[in-house]
Amino acid sequence: MHAHVERHGIGSGGRPGGRHDDRTDDAGASRAGVPRQSPADGGHAPSAPPASDMSASDAASRLRYMDGVRARARRAVLVPAVVAVALGAVVAVHGALIALWPHAALLSIAWLACLVVARPGFVWQRRRLERRRGLLGRRRLRVACAVAGTVAAVGAVVASADPLVSAAAASVALAAYLGDVPTVAIAALVAGVAGELALVDGASRPTGELLVGAGLAGAGLVYLAAQRGAA
């Protein structure tokens, strides 16, 4: 952890009495978790005409560039593909458990209690990963995804659908949308809707949850593999 913290400008010397060189930072090389800029993200920084000469197309190009930066920052913070894998695994394991021990209500309560108990561990792990990646996310992004999941779960209860499936699909879809990962967002929505429709058509709940869990985790894994391949 921090052995020493101080505030001052860049280039004024990070080490007391010595020069601070960011290239000697603990991660001087590129950091894997941070998406690099690409033409699809709005390209490199646009040219800079004087403010008085700013045309509408210059302003539009500037706004597109900002959207690209914002999407990459959100993607690095929310890691939607990893969220898809994690929530997909949660849904699939829940489906497997209710297949083995068909006391759904009791199991759901026990499952939720386990998640609540394990939450401090999740938070600790998230903060550790954020520090390692060099990006600490704002709370409002995570809250937005959690609210989407909660609203979807309440909607599912009202519609007599599966709340776990709806919550997981909605959370992943919003995280992927905010992070500008449309393939994962669409896959999450398709998996969620297909799972709920299968349940309405008479499929058993364990089967539906296993399929949706596999769909979410699969979408996340395919995206991560594609990213690794591209890198």
Partner 1 sequence: MSHPTRRLDPVIHQPTRLGILTAAAETKRIDFVSLRDLLDVTDGNLSRHLTTLENAGYIEIEKAFEGRRPRTWIAATPAGRKALAAEIAALREIVGDADGRAPAAKRSPRAATG
For partner 1, which is the closer residue by CB, 71 or 84? 71
Binding mask 74-113 for partner 1 (x = CB under 8 A): x-xx------------------------------------
What is the rounded end-to-end Cα distance, in angstroms, of the chain?
30
Stretch near partner 1 under the rule CB under 8 A, chosen from 28-36, 97-105, 108-116, 209-217: 28-36
CA distance 74 to 185: 14
Stretch near partner 1 under the rule CB under 8 A, chosen from 37-45, 99-107, 195-203, 207-215: 37-45
CA distance 4 to 23: 19
Q: Give residues 128-187 in contact with partner 1 (rule: CB under 8 A).
A: 131, 133-139
CA distance 6 to 198: 58
How big is the chain, counted in residues? Answer: 231
**7 forms part of the interface with partner 1 (CB under 8 A):** yes
Closest CA to 184 of 219, 218, 230: 219
Closest CA to 35 of 64, 83, 73: 73
**119 forms part of the interface with partner 1 (CB under 8 A):** no
| Residue 102 CB partners (closer than 8 Å, separation 6+) | none
Binding mask 41-80 for partner 1 (x = CB under 8 A): ---xxxxx--xxxxxx--xx-xx-xx--xx-xxx-xx---
**126 forms part of the interface with partner 1 (CB under 8 A):** no
Nearest distance, CB of residue 231 and partner 1, angstroms: 12
3-class secondary structure, 61: helix
| Total Cβ atoms within 10 A of residue 101 | 11
For partner 1, which is the closer residue by CB, 105 or 140? 140
CA distance 138 to 93: 30
The footprint of partner 1 (CB under 8 A) covers 1-11, 14-15, 20-28, 30-31, 33-37, 44-48, 51-56, 59-60, 62-63, 65-66, 69-70, 72-74, 76-77, 131, 133-139
